[in-house]
Amino acid sequence: MTCLLRLHDVTHRFGKVLALDGLSLSVPEGAIYGFLGRNGAGKTTTLRVLMGLTPPDAGRIELFGEEIRAVPVRLKRHIGFVPQEPHFYPWMTAVQLGRFVGDFYPTWDDAEYRRLLRRLDIPTDRKASAMSGGTRTKLSLALAFAPRPPLLLLDEPTTGLDPVARREFNDQLIELQREQGTTVMFSSHLVGEVEQVAHAVGIIQAGSARFEGTVDSLRAQVRRVVGLDEATEASWLERVRGDVFRADEAAWRANVLPPGAVAERLGLEDIFLAFARTDEVRAT
């Protein structure tokens, strides 16, 4: 698997708050990578590091095959970004915004931008201030895809959209990603959404990666062990450490559980909840 982007042990502090705590992750080239974490887990800080807006205190970044400490402007030009809440000059129309944003990108493709506006049903002559939230979010997608960036970062882009608009947005993201072959990193705290769009998933908690892999491997590997009595639980959990919670199929079948215990399969929602409550899952 070729990775377009890797973070190694990246740390960032805001004063006393340790926002990123030795974060390591790998984003496969050409995939949609769902970056899942609770509020405050460190998703936005990670994306800001990748946009070159927040230089990390420590750690290494590998991006487009280069190893760097912080993301320089020349690489930023090859990264598209869709923010949580897009802010446009309210008096500009979609066409005017295209001209404005296009000036920042040497690879801006105006014909592609016009095609995207038509495709996403975005009015060309209406001011941004008169667009609905859903249309503004789609506009930020068109602006992000028009320069055909090899890497696109989306920071909880569907926040504030109703379920229908969210589904439409995500369907369009999947289609455009497929057409252009873009590598996409998509942050969200909505498990169902990540399940819908992502080929690979990274779960971040308190600034550290807790899991990385495909959605299927996440389902196959993570289980909740029930049926342990208190005395067994303490010694057994100590003995097996994290392995059993992240074992492969064969290890599960090899019956590593103590008598009476059962390893339950979980839905993705429950897996995420289990990761969020550190005491239930001993991973990594």
Ligand X SMILES: Nc1ncnc2c1ncn2[C@@H]1O[C@H](COP(=O)(O)OP(=O)(O)OP(=O)(O)O)[C@@H](O)[C@H]1O
Which stretches of the chain bind ligand X, using CB under 6 A?
Answer: 14, 17, 19, 37, 39-45, 189
DSSP, collapsed to helix, strand or coil, labels residue 284 as coil
Q: Nearer to ligand X by C-beta: 98 or 157?
A: 157
CA distances from 144 to 79, 133, 279 (A): 9, 17, 40
Q: Nearer to ligand X by C-beta: 86 or 147?
A: 86
Q: How far is the CB of 280 from ligand X (least distance, A)?
A: 20
Pairing outcome for strands 151-155 and 32-36: unpaired
- Per DSSP, helices labelled H in 150-266 are 163-180, 191-197, 215-221, 230-240, 249-253
d(CA 209, CA 35): 10
Q: Nearer to ligand X by C-beta: 182 or 188?
A: 188
d(CA 38, CA 206): 9
**Do 81 and 146 touch, CB atoms closer than 8 A?**
no
Q: Nearer to ligand X by C-beta: 2 or 39?
A: 39
Q: Nearer to ligand X by C-beta: 14 or 104?
A: 14
Q: Nearer to ligand X by C-beta: 43 or 210?
A: 43
- Element of type H or E holding 119: helix 110-119
Residues 6+ apart with CB under 8 A from 255: none
Q: Nearer to ligand X by C-beta: 243 or 269?
A: 269
E-strand stretches of the chain: 3-14, 17-28, 32-36, 58-63, 66-68, 79-82, 151-155, 183-188, 200-205, 208-214, 223-226, 262-265
CA 238 to the chain's CA centroid: 32
- Element of type H or E holding 94: helix 94-102
Q: How far is the CB of 41 from ligand X (least distance, A)?
A: 4
DSSP, collapsed to helix, strand or coil, labels residue 244 as helix
Q: How far is the CB of 171 from ligand X (least distance, A)?
A: 23
Q: How far is the CB of 16 from ligand X (least distance, A)?
A: 9
Backbone torsions φ then ψ of 197, nearest 5 degrees: -100, -25
Q: Nearer to ligand X by C-beta: 43 or 223?
A: 43
